[in-house]
Amino acid sequence: MSEPTTATAATSASAADLAARARALDAADELGKHREKFALGGGSGQEDAGVYLDGNSLGALPAHVPARLADVVARQWGELRIRSWDESGWWTAPERIGDRIAPLVGAAEGQIVVGDSTSVNVFKAVVAATRLADGGRDEILVDATTFPTDGYIAESAARLTGHRIVPLDPAGIPGAVTDRTALALVNHVDYRSGRLQDLPGITAALHEAGALAVWDLCHSAGALPVGLDAHGVDLAVGCTYKYLNGGPGAPAYLYVAERHQDRFDSPLPGWNSHADPFGMTPGYRAADGAARGRVGTPDILSMLALEAALDVWDGVRIEDVRAKSLALTDFFLECVRVYAPGGRVTAVTPEAHAERGSQVALRCAEAPAVMAELIRRGVVGDLRRPDILRFGFTPLYVGFADVERAARTLADVLADIPPAGA
């Protein structure tokens, strides 16, 4: 590890302490052994793999997935061909993989089906929730800070179903629920700020008023305990290419609580969710269980890559992941305070553990230039315009030395880029 540059020389004593603490924390880290399961090399002849803090956008590749996927392509598709639907288990993959995701989000088996994109599953969940809600309820509460697509989909669903969208801050949902509320669509972790919303409290408030809770878990599944069953969530959706490391464009998933499955009325009925899919009858009759969330032919190649990727979770407790996530983000915030004082960056992510996901967002007036230079120097995060630097912490492969290096490099970059307006 290189010596502190001029930008951090004034805090060299603290820097030495932070570097030593990082080494000690890594040495004691029980999850550190899982890092070797991922392909984290520099590639293209690079000796330095850098620091990857963008797992909240695209998780790293589990090292064993290419060989597993090669078998899917060469043997299952190339040799067995259509026989693989039965002999290789292709047909049962959506529910089988859903059952593997279930423990990571606190769900019993039989309630999650994998397939389609997050956006498509949001549409299914929102429209189905309006059909599950008691008659006369004509409002959909939507997280005003939601990922934009969730808002677009909710607005479209509202036009189709005759409902009215009510946008508001998630913290205001409990006080805004009325007898007109059909459901609320909320992001468990805010994609921009990293704020963790109160899933138990919001869900309970909705239920008390007779409404349903639909949660987007894209930025929480695989990073922290969710407790879908324990907290009585009705419907949930999530992607699998972030903290679940399923690969770019990996299929999303839909959770339908068991108590709702016999009345779950999907707005996208397809042959794959028919009770007799090969009967090819003109009338639709929904399958039992979570399979009602299927639509068309599953995307087998990406789905089986995801199934292989989930092997990295064998023997891992999500509670341990959460503990390390909080320790990593605490340490990063401390390092940033030591290395980059002076107000050039300010934390947007809450300090309180109960309000923090597994990312840290920093506001910086020069964010586009700073992130471009960070990436050039081997620290990969991402940017949310106009002024947010985002850093995602995936506990299975990010270590404390990574955190210290990222903060130190950030300070160096800030020293080299003049403040806006200077």
Give residue limits of the domains in the chain: 6-37+316-416, 66-313
Q: Is 52 exposed, middle or buried (0-12, 13-18, 19+ CB in 10 A)?
A: buried
The CATH code for residues 66-313 is: 3.40.640.10
Residue-level pLDDT at 2? 35
Least confident of 5-19, 228-242, 281-295, 309-323: 5-19
What's the average model confidence in pLDDT over 158-186?
A: 97
Residue-level pLDDT at 14? 83
Least confident of 12-16, 146-150, 240-244: 12-16
Cα separation of 91 and 114, whole Å?
A: 12
Q: Would residue 331 show up in a list of annotated catalytic residues for this protein?
A: no
Which is more confidently placed, 146 or 9? Answer: 146
Neighbours of 149 (CB within 10 A): 13
Query: Measuring CA to CA, how many Å separate 156 from each of 85, 142, 245, 358, 416?
Result: 35, 12, 30, 30, 46
Residue-level pLDDT at 72? 98
- Name 301's Cβ contacts closer than 8 Å, sequence gap at least 6: 69, 72, 73, 77
Q: Is the pLDDT of residue 202 over 80?
A: yes
Exactly one of 52, 241, 243, 331 is catalytic; name it: 241
Q: In percent, how much of the chain has pLDDT > 70?
A: 95
Residue-level pLDDT at 12? 56
Q: How confident is the model at residue 214 (pLDDT cuts 50, 70, 90)?
A: very high
Cβ(239)–Cβ(118) under 8 Å? Answer: yes
Cα separation of 220 and 46, whole Å?
A: 32
- Name 396's Cβ contacts closer than 8 Å, sequence gap at least 6: 31, 34, 35, 37, 38, 245, 312, 316, 321
Q: Would residue 255 show up in a list of annotated catalytic residues for this protein?
A: no
pTM score, two decimals?
0.94
User: Annotated binding site for pyridoxal 5'-phosphate, which residues?
Assistant: 118-119, 147-150, 216, 219, 241, 271, 297
Residue-level pLDDT at 327? 98
Residue-level pLDDT at 44? 46
End-to-end CA gap in the chain: 32
Q: Is the pLDDT of residue 8 over 80?
A: no
Task: Please name the residue that has the structure tokens 């030593």.
Answer: 20
Cβ(189)–Cβ(322) under 8 Å? Answer: no
Which CATH architecture is the domain 6-37+316-416 placed in?
Answer: Alpha-Beta Complex (3.90)
Exactly one of 216, 234, 382, 412 is catalytic; name it: 216
Q: Would residue 332 show up in a list of annotated catalytic residues for this protein?
A: no
Cα separation of 400 and 288, whole Å?
A: 46
Q: Would residue 33 show up in a list of annotated catalytic residues for this protein?
A: no
Q: How confident is the model at residue 388 (pLDDT cuts 50, 70, 90)?
A: very high
Sheet holding 112-114, edge to edge: 112-114, 253-256, 235-238, 212-216, 181-187, 139-143, 164-168
Q: How confident is the model at residue 341 (pLDDT cuts 50, 70, 90)?
A: confident
Q: Within 13 Å, how many C-alpha atoms sit on residue 4's CB side?
A: 23
User: Annotated binding site, which residues?
Assistant: 118-119, 147-150, 216, 219, 241, 271, 297
Torsion, Cα 347 386 249 357, to 10 degrees, reads: 20
Q: In percent, how much of the chain has pLDDT > 90?
A: 92
Cβ(138)–Cβ(316) under 8 Å? Answer: no
In whole numbers, what is the pLDDT of the chain averaged over residues? 94
235-238 and 139-143 beta bridge pairing:
unpaired
Torsion, Cα 30 32 33 36, to 10 degrees, reads: 170
Q: Which pair of tokens denotes residue 18?
A: 């932070």
Neighbours of 233 (CB within 10 A): 28
Residue-level pLDDT at 379? 98
Exactly one of 147, 191, 255, 339 is catalytic; name it: 147
Query: Measuring CA to CA, how many Å separate 20 from each of 1, 284, 394, 404, 408?
Result: 11, 64, 22, 10, 14
CA 246 to chain centre: 11
Strand partners, 382: 390
What's the average model confidence in pLDDT over 337-341?
A: 93
pLDDT digits 0-9 by tens, 360-370: 999 999 999 99
Cα angle, residue 69 at apex, residues 65 and 70 outer, rounded to 5°: 115
Exactly one of 242, 324, 344, 377 is catalytic; name it: 242
Q: Is the pLDDT of residue 402 over 60?
A: yes
Query: Measuring CA to CA, how many Å separate 12 from each of 6, 116, 323, 408?
Result: 10, 51, 29, 11
Cα separation of 295 and 195, whole Å?
A: 33
Q: Which pair of tokens denotes residue 90?
A: 């292709």
Residue-level pLDDT at 46? 47
Task: Kindly give the residue spans of alpha helices, DSSP state H, lying in 84-198.
Answer: 84-87, 93-101, 118-132, 148-161, 173-176
Length of the chain: 422
Q: Would residue 216 show up in a list of annotated catalytic residues for this protein?
A: yes
Cα separation of 7 and 276, whole Å?
A: 67
Neighbours of 44 (CB within 10 A): 5
Q: Is the pLDDT of residue 1 over 90?
A: no
Exactly one of 35, 390, 405, 408 is catalytic; name it: 390
